[in-house]
Amino acid sequence: MPMLLLLNVLTWRGGPPQSGLSHLFDTAGGSVGRSSSNQLRLPDPEGFISRKHGSIAYQDGDYRYTDTSSGGTYFATRNLLLEQDTLVLRPGDILCIGDYEIAVSLLPDAAASPTPDLFQAFLEGAGLDLRHRFKPEDLPGLMRALGTLFRPLAEAALAPSPLHPGPAADTAQSTRLDAALEHLLLPGPDAATDALDALLDHLEDAAHQKLALHTALQAELAVALRRFDPDGLARIGGNPDPARCWQAFRTAYPGLVQDIAQNFLGAEFIKTYQRQLRLLRTVKGR
């Protein structure tokens, strides 16, 4: 199986590069230069490095570097300036392009393949087809970002709810979360399935709570609006005359507003909310 070629920037102007610059080439090859179209881009505000300084090609079991620049590529370990020519790359070579020193390494494909394969498994589990949009060297940072995102998402999904109160103390909740994550990640015949079921269970609870809240708010609003029923206001005024009804409304309005403000989202709202949750729990248990 062909090896993979790693070009890794060691220094820039004698010191460490401002950011990690490297690229892992496969048999498809690629190019090096200051243009963003290169697989290995070498920023060069002074323009000494050519837009496409050199190209990488795999041929007859070797990776070959072809200089296509105006200034040449210096092979420091061989004391050789390559100009408009091609040379087989060897492990340990140091290429000098502009102010950059670049190390050459060859990696067995077996050593590089687990990460893309594992990432592909992750994408398949997520129902996504995005592998072609990521470079192998991007994957460690991406997986670290996903891991950072993983815990707060799980924490939100497993947060206590009316259907699953859970522990009240923060430390107990943290311990519970740690146990759930370990159960999900550690090997076991049913670990991932059980953890997924628990996660989906809590997400379903969240949807139920939203529905119960919506139902309770609708009921509470209906009660409040009934206080302004025209027929009821007419009875308060004791006369169907519009002027008297309007005066009765003006008189009753402050009390109506105060009563609604004091009782809105009060005992009746809580009773409706809890009744809806009990109904959803009963349906869920069937």
DSSP-assigned letters across all residues of 105-162: EEE-HHHHSHHHHHHHHHHHHHT---GGG--GGGHHHHHHHHHHHHHHHHHHHTS--S
Cβ-contact 264, 195 below 8 angstroms:
no
User: pLDDT band for position 80 (50/70/90)?
Assistant: very high
Distance in angstroms (rounded) separating the CA atoms of residues 119 and 133: 12
Which of 58-62, 87-91, 232-236 is predicted with the least confidence, judged by mean pLDDT?
232-236
C-alpha to C-alpha distances, 141 to 19, 106, 146, 225, nearest whole angstrom:
13, 22, 9, 55
Q: Of the spans 38-42, 172-176, 206-210, 246-250, which averages the highest pLDDT?
A: 38-42
Q: Give the mean pLDDT of 20-28.
A: 88
Long-range pairs for 129-135 at CB < 8 Å and ≥24 separation?
A: 135/23, 135/24
Non-local CB neighbours of 212 within 8 Å, separated by 6+ positions: 273, 276, 277, 280
Angle (CA) 224-227-233 rounded to 5° is 160
Token pair belonging to 242: 């519009």
Average pLDDT over residues 226-239: 66
Q: How far apart are CA 155 and CA 175, in angstroms?
A: 11
Counted residue by residue, the chain has a size of: 286
Whether residue 44 is predicted with pLDDT greater than 60 in this model: the reply is: yes
Distance of alpha carbon 263 from alpha carbon 227, whole angstroms: 13
pLDDT at 276: 77
Query: Which DSSP state fits 247?
Result: H
Stated pTM of the model: 0.41
Paired sense of beta strands 86-88 and 80-82, if any: unpaired
Which pLDDT band holds residue 286 (cuts at 50, 70, 90)? very low
249-258: list long-range contacts, CB under 8 Å, 24+ apart. 256/227, 256/228
Residue-wise over 97-129: b if at least 16 C-beta within 10 A, else e?
A: bbbbbbbbbeeeeeebeeeeeebeeeeeeeeee
Question: Which residues of the chain does CATH 2.60.200.20 include?
Answer: 3-108
Separation between Cα atoms, residue 6 and residue 191, nearest integer Å = 38
Lowest mean pLDDT among 114-123, 148-157, 181-190, 271-280: 181-190
Q: Of the given ranges (147-156, 171-180, 210-219, 245-254), which has the lowest mean pLDDT? A: 171-180
* Averaged confidence pLDDT in the chain: 77
Any idea which residue has 């206590």 for tokens?
A: 160
Answer for the pair 215, 280: CB distance below 8 angstroms, yes or no: no
What's the CATH number for 3-108? 2.60.200.20
Which of 154, 5, 1 lies closest to 92 in space, CA to CA? 5
pLDDT of 254: 83
Q: Which of 14-28, 69-83, 236-250 has the lowest mean pLDDT?
A: 236-250
Cβ atoms within 10 Å, residue 95: 25
The angle, 0 to 180 degrees and rounded to 10, between the axes of the packed helices 267-284 and 191-226 is 140
Q: In this predicted structure, what is the pLDDT of residue 56? A: 97
How much is the average pLDDT of 108-137? 66
